[in-house]
Amino acid sequence: MMATIQELDYRYILIDKYKYLGLNENEVMIILSIDNILKHGAILVTADTLALKMSLGEKEIDQLIVKLSDPNNKDKCFIEYVTKNDQMVTSLEPTFKKIEAFYTASIEDRRKSEQYLSEEQKENIFTAFETAIGSSLTRLDIDKIMEWIQSGIDDKSILSALEECAMKNKKVTVRLVDKILLKRLIHNDREKEGYSTIDERHRNDIEKAIDIASYHWTDDEK
């Protein structure tokens, strides 16, 4: 059930973990938009090009690019402009390296967390998901399930959401179950407090970005 580094969906991880990588929403969309343009064959992406595709103004985009490509700030450097074959090109190699390092470092933490799960819990939850999905869980799937457990969601609630997902959808995924759990948490918050501390609109925006990140932009990715 362990995914290899080569199997990572960098765009999905970027969206799912951008907060922990020190990015905000505008910066994430800058990176994703650059990634999209590069996958369509471009080699140099500038602020004026991005301004044609984004709601941000060219000046603001340029400022964000400068910030994200500063070689003197290794923690914030996600984009680089390098010369190849006498041509200036845009590269997201710093982004890929950061995501790979983040993912590698988190594997050991997840392994330690899993040790606190009883064998019965693993059997009940992981097996139930693999049966519903029809395949082995990826590392990202396991990470998401572990996040639910660590946040205090009990096994019964997780399995109930899985059952609801299977009833409503032809194809079951961990992401769809996550959406069901989110709706239940919001509902419970409103029932108890009259409002929810979970920003549903913000989460919906992120889900849209995940859809963008998961889209197969080029024919060779199909």
Average pLDDT of every residue of the chain: 79
Number of domains in the chain: 2
Give the highest mean pLDDT range of 19-28, 101-110, 136-145, 180-189.
19-28
pLDDT digits (tens, 9 = 90+) for 168-217: 998 999 999 998 998 888 776 666 555 444 444 445 544 555 454 444 43
Same domain, 61 and 138: no
Same domain, 50 and 127: no
pLDDT confidence of residue 189 = 61
Asked if residue 220 is part of any domain, the answer here is: no
Same domain, 93 and 130: no
Confidence of residue 142 (pLDDT cuts 50, 70, 90): confident
Q: Is the dihedral of CA 130, 150, 107, 210 positive or negative?
A: positive
Asked if residue 102 is part of any domain, the answer here is: no
Same domain, 90 and 171: no
Among residues 64, 97, 130, the one where a domain terminates is: 97
pLDDT confidence of residue 47 = 95
Same domain, 199 and 133: yes
Same domain, 127 and 200: yes
Asked if residue 12 is part of any domain, the answer here is: yes
Among residues 42, 69, 97, the one where a domain terminates is: 97
* Bridge partners (DSSP) listed for residue 81: 90
Confidence of residue 117 (pLDDT cuts 50, 70, 90): low
Same domain, 49 and 78: yes
pLDDT confidence of residue 109 = 63
pLDDT confidence of residue 20 = 85
Domain with 79, as residue range(s), is 8-97
Same domain, 47 and 131: no
Same domain, 65 and 125: no
Mean pLDDT of 22-43: 92
Q: Can you give the pTM of this predicted structure?
A: 0.54
pLDDT of residue 218 exceeding 80, the answer is: no
CATH of the domain at 44: 1.10.10.10
Asked if residue 23 is part of any domain, the answer here is: yes
pLDDT of residue 70 exceeding 60, the answer is: yes
Asked if residue 109 is part of any domain, the answer here is: no
Confidence of residue 11 (pLDDT cuts 50, 70, 90): confident
pLDDT of residue 118 exceeding 60, the answer is: yes
pLDDT confidence of residue 19 = 86
Among residues 97, 127, 145, the one where a domain terminates is: 97
Residue pair 25/205 in contact (Cβ under 8 Å)? The answer is yes
Mean pLDDT of 30-43: 92
Asked if residue 1 is part of any domain, the answer here is: no
Same domain, 172 and 206: yes
Burial class, 99, CB count within 10 angstroms (exposed 0-12 / middle 13-18 / buried 19+):
buried
Q: How far apart are the first and last CA of the chain?
A: 23
Mean pLDDT of 68-92: 91
Burial class, 145, CB count within 10 angstroms (exposed 0-12 / middle 13-18 / buried 19+):
buried
Asked if residue 112 is part of any domain, the answer here is: no
Asked if residue 43 is part of any domain, the answer here is: yes
Mean pLDDT of 114-137: 80
Residue pair 61/50 in contact (Cβ under 8 Å)? The answer is yes
Same domain, 129 and 198: yes
Same domain, 125 and 209: yes
